[in-house]
Amino acid sequence: MDRRNFLRNSGVALGATLTSSSALKAVKHPKVEARLSGASGKWADVRSQFVLDHSQIQMAQMLLASHPKRVREAIEMRRKAFDENPATYWEEHHLTADTRIRKAAARYLECDFTEVALTDSTTMGMSTLLNGFKLKPGDEVLHTTHDHYITDMSIAYACKKRGATYREIAEYADPATASVDEIVTNIRNAIRPQTRVVVVTWVQSCTGVKNPIQAISYAIEDMNMERPADKRIYFCVDGVHGFGNQADAVSTLGCDFFAAGTHKWIYGPRGTGIIYARKSAWDFVEPTIPAFARYPFVNWMEEDNDLEWTFGEVCTPGGFHAFEHRWSLDEAFEFQMDLGRYEVHARTTELNNMLKDGISEMDHVTLYTPRDPHLSAGINCFMVDGYTETEAVEHFHKKGIIASSSPYRVSYARLTPCIINTEEEVTKSLEVLEKMA
């Protein structure tokens, strides 16, 4: 059976199967099992590389992460060099540094480095993409009620400039019981002939739901088979809260565009981020901010040259940045590669399952994040009877636990264990939560 008929006949169930088996493989991968015996010492060593204040339990690293030792040292080395001779140091490195960083990112994303652009944040990445999409009057952007403020506003700004329209849908009725079938079916049914872009968030910071990106990608690919090239649907993902804690390489997710800050789960320098755009989608995006790169500059200087346009060069916003941070980002990717994508995902899943299992046993706490690790990642959203989300976070802080709340119209309290945390810290958080009854 050819791929087209297979996709059509399998329907949404295909996406569910692929997503589930992929995530399961990530947790039970042989590389992980082979190293379980030394896992305790490994994660203790990882923890020791951060200078966090351990008089408090850090359960909000997903907001803004601490730097591991190798990243701190790289930043300090470059800061010192810039302070001693800024013009010379910049001149010596600016033509090669961005390429070095993009190549390091590409190794982690498992893509070509020309498909990677550098930004300062998820906000800059999503805005660069949406503002650069070649939308026309009559085109529609479809997104969800679960996206962040910056996604909503970036879409609104872009559509107003281009004369396009936008529409948002709910992907599920209840986050705690969301399923792959429900999410993919709702998106598929909401796509109309005028829909040109679908935008979703990989891991939603409002609910902790992890979108089945591969299953959505297959559904969109199937629909594109019935469309002419000039009506193709493009798939764009805000990926920041899955980027650095999931086993799937970004290039295997199937999306056309992907934006993420790298100062959260990647533990990269603050003020850094990336955009991924697969080559088959480059025709739909154009740059917004002039790049400091060979192609656009030489093209401006010389009318006749043979340099080729690449997304990574042209869509990396130019200007002067905090270069001691940007040029140290490769150390964060190497740190992640050394840890192992499968191992990081397995450890993140282990700690978060432990937390969710404990919360689920408490009658006075409502867990809004799915317990299924195929539909959740490192963010756990909940409410405690008798407390607002703000009051719950304040209570945790008084007990020495740094929690957070989701900045949305409907807000929940959040605990977000990561590879820096320990089982004892998860247990302590559960004990505090239990005493809030």
| 8 Å CB contact between 218 and 18 | yes
DSSP-derived secondary structure for 13-51: HHHHHHHHHHHHHHHS-HHHHHTGGGHHHHHHHHHHTS-
Lowest mean pLDDT among 111-115, 122-126, 241-245, 304-308: 304-308
User: What tens digit of pLDDT does each residue of 151-196 get?
Assistant: 999 999 999 999 999 999 999 999 999 999 999 999 999 999 999 9
Q: Identify the helix (H) or strand (E) that includes residue 258.
A: strand 257-261
Distance CA 303, CA 308 (A): 13
- State the pTM of this model: 0.90
Sorted by where each begins, the domain ranges of the chain are: 27-68+341-434, 71-337
pLDDT at residue 308, rounded to an integer: 81
> Residue 298 above 80 pLDDT?
no
Distance CA 287, CA 315 (A): 5
Task: Tell me the Ramachandran region of residue 400: left when phi exceeds 0, alpha when psi lies from -120 to 50, beta otherwise.
Answer: left
Specify the residue for token string 């969800």.
144
Distance CA 98, CA 2 (A): 42
Radius of gyration of the chain (CA): 22
pLDDT band at 138 (very low <50, low <70, confident <90, very high): very high
Q: What is the CATH number of domain 27-68+341-434?
A: 3.90.1150.10
CATH class of residue range 71-337:
alpha beta
> Residue 30 above 80 pLDDT?
no
Q: Identify the helix (H) or strand (E) that includes residue 10.
A: helix 3-10
Nearest to 4 by CA among 223, 175, 215: 223
Distance CA 262, CA 280 (A): 24
Mean pLDDT of the chain: 90
